Amino acid sequence: DAGITQSPRHKVTETGTPVTLRCHQTENHRYMYWYRQDPGHGLRLIHYSYGVKDTDKGEVSDGYSVSRSKTEDFLLTLESATSSQTSVYFCAISARNEQYFGPGTRLTVT
């Protein structure tokens, strides 16, 4: 157990509304990640963070922003949700050159 929690675990929202997903870790890991997982695709990296206020884009960053104001929290924001952002979102941390995942958030945009 890597001490990662995600909230909310499930969310249904309407197109055009802002949505923020939270990832919280308890073990002071430097690296944190946001992925999305969709049928027919492997997990795809959205954004990652390598320290407080240090973030960078991943493979599918368009339409997403992130913030990390504290080591333990990494927030993913969809400024204006679209139906194409319906997905399962996983947060992860790096430890000992390995990645460990949170339980995921199922987001549905109607």
Residues that bind other proteins (CB under 8 A): 31, 40-45, 48, 58, 90, 94, 97-104
Contact predicate 67/45, CB 8 Å = no
Q: In whole angstroms, how close is the CB of 29 to other proteins at the nearest point?
A: 11
Closer residue to other proteins in complex, CB, 94/108 = 94
Q: How many CB atoms lie within 10 A of CB 63?
A: 14
Closer residue to other proteins in complex, CB, 53/97 = 97
Residue of 24, 19, 59, 64 whose CA lies nearest to 42: 59
Closer residue to other proteins in complex, CB, 58/63 = 58
